[in-house]
Amino acid sequence: MYDAPNLETRVTQTNTKITARGVQVFYGEKQALQDVNVDILDNTVTAFIGPSGCGKSTFLRCLNRMNDTIASARVEGEILLDGENIYDKRVDPVQLRAKVGMVFQKPNPFPKSIYDNVAYGPKIHGLTRSKAELDQIVEESLRKAALWKEVKDRLTEAGTGLSGGQQQRLCIARAIATAPEVLLMDEPCSALDPIATAQVEELIDELRASFSVVIVTHSMQQAARVSQKTAFFHLGNLVEYGDTSHIFTNPSDPRTESYITGRIG
């Protein structure tokens, strides 16, 4: 007799990693984000898209409290990581940023060796007890960042001596060395050539197995290639959020449609 497969086991489980509720951001008197509500999933790439100045980077920076470093910035509302409010007074922003790592637009390796760039985070967070353990973390992080083969014989050389694409993968290795749970990427390919961009995009897809990845991008093609979920921002509002395939083929809001068809941007 035919047994119906158990639906429960066939559905891929994707849990909420970050919950934003009523998030508003001000720079001085100026409001940059209004009432943003969204659930960001684990093991998923989420793309933030929208015209310049719509608040994508501002919202990304809310997710690991990078806005704390901007004197005029004020964040209201609630952001929960695994149910815990990251803006709670008891949360140490430095510890938080080890859990919610960030990769910036321009590759920014430290003026240190390739090895030390990756070893820095685990060292300051006391994640290892021995040199052997640290060596292992450095190797694993460089492997995950698809850079190990290219640099394994030159670990003592300066990180700044690598090509732009390699530097960006080094920055990704540095971000994942502290075993983060979420990886935030602010236009990580904008300074890269098409080959390096393709490598980083492939890497982003692999990283999703281990992390929740959030990427700000100006390229709709890139959002369509790398993400499963897309959030469209416009004038400080999160206008639409959903499956990338849906947003790009059948958006619900006319503003999203105008943007993806190139009428606003």
Ligand X SMILES: Nc1ncnc2c1ncn2[C@@H]1O[C@H](COP(=O)(O)OP(=O)(O)OP(=O)(O)O)[C@@H](O)[C@H]1O
Contact residues: ligand X, CB under 6 A: 27, 32, 50, 52-58, 70, 72
> Taking the complex as a whole, how short is the minimal distance between the CB of residue 53 and ligand X, in angstroms?
4
* Residue (65 or 144) nearer to ligand X, CB: 65
Q: Closer CB to ligand X, residue 55 or residue 107?
A: 55
In the complex, least distance from residue 100 CB atom to ligand X, rounded to whole angstroms: 17
Burial class (CB in 10 A: 0-12, 13-18, 19+), 11: exposed
The 3-state DSSP class for residue 108 equals coil
226 Rama class: left (phi>0) / alpha (psi -120 to 50) / beta: alpha
Q: Which is nearer to ligand X, 52 or 156 (CB)?
A: 52
Best CA proximity match to 110, nearest among 92, 100, 95, 123: 123
Radius of gyration from C-alpha coordinates of the chain = 19
CB of 31 to ligand X, least distance (A): 9
| Minimum CB distance to ligand X, residue 34 (Å) | 11
Least distance to ligand X, CB of residue 186, Å: 8
Shortest Å, Cβ 180 to ligand X: 21
Which of residues 115 and 233 has its CB atom nearest to ligand X in the complex? Answer: 233
Query: What is the distance between the alpha carbons of residues 37 and 79, in angstroms, rounded to a whole number?
Result: 9
Instruction: Compute the distance between CA of residue 215 and CA of residue 225 in angstroms, rounded to an integer.
Output: 12
Q: Which residue has the tokens 């999160």?
A: 238
Q: Which is nearer to ligand X, 58 or 230 (CB)?
A: 58
Read off the tokens for 44. 């998923």
According to DSSP, the β-strands at 30-41 and 84-85 are unpaired
- For 231, phi then psi, to 5°, come to -120, 125
Nearer to ligand X, 70 or 94 (CB): 70
